[in-house]
């Protein structure tokens, strides 16, 4: 029994930490009215005076369900990718995916407002697809999952599809870089 526990002891440390940070930020949002959300949300007209929001937007959420869906996805994809590429590379991958999603949102919706980890989550989905392909695994199911999520983003109101696509592209690009370096 202890051997089984030891084999999983270090799994997903950064993933679990990111989930914890997101939950704590949401609790701060819920108890502060709109003060914390206003500080962290991405609002393109203010991005030059508040550049940190390009990253902090990925830690703020609009509702409990928004938080729960993103954190479930982070747990599923994050732990797998973190164990594959390592903690430091995983953290860079995730943060660059959020940044890629934010930049795409700023370019596509210059007067919008965005919160949520979805750019980072889509980055993880793109990375998962690239890593699966590089390892020689079938990736058609992952491609279908990505396609369904992109379509849902286009047909559902209030979803920043540009952030999803920007995160997907950034995460895929970072994962591709990692797989090329590994070869």
Structural domain boundaries enclosing 15: 2-182
Residue 155, domain CATH: 1.20.1540.10
Q: Walk along the chain (183 residues) and give the pLDDT tens digit of each residue.
A: 444 344 445 578 999 999 999 999 999 999 998 899 999 999 999 999 999 999 999 999 999 999 999 999 999 999 999 999 999 999 999 999 999 999 999 999 999 999 999 999 999 999 999 999 999 998 889 999 999 999 988 888 889 999 999 999 999 999 999 999 876
Active-site annotation holds for 7? no
DSSP 58: G
pTM: 0.91
Sign (positive/negative) of CA torsion 48, 49, 55, 59? negative
Among residues 61, 73, 84, 164, the one annotated as catalytic is: 164
Active-site annotation holds for 32? no
Among residues 97, 102, 118, 162, the one annotated as catalytic is: 118
Structurally, the chain folds into a number of domains equal to: 1
């Amino acid at each position: 029994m202890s051997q089984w526990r030891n084999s999983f002891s270090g799994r997903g440390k950064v993933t679990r930490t990111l989930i914890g940070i997101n939950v704590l930020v949401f609790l701060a949002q819920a108890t502060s009215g709109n003060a914390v959300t206003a500080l962290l949300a991405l609002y393109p007209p203010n991005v030059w005076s508040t550049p940190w929001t390009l990253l902090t937007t990925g830690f703020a959420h609009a509702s409990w369900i928004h938080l729960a869906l993103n954190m479930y996805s982070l747990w599923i994809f994050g732990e797998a990718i973190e164990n594959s590429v390592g903690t430091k590379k995983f953290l860079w991958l995730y943060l660059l995916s959020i940044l890629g999603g934010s930049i795409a949102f700023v370019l596509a919706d210059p007067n919008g407002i965005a919160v949520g980890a979805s750019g980072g989550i889509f980055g993880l989905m793109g990375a998962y697809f690239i890593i699966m392909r590089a390892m020689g695994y079938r990736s058609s199911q992952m491609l279908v999952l990505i396609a369904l999520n992109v379509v849902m983003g286009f047909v559902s109101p209030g979803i920043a599809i540009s952030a999803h696509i920007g995160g997907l592209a950034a995460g895929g690009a970072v994962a591709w870089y990692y797989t090329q370096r590994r070869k």
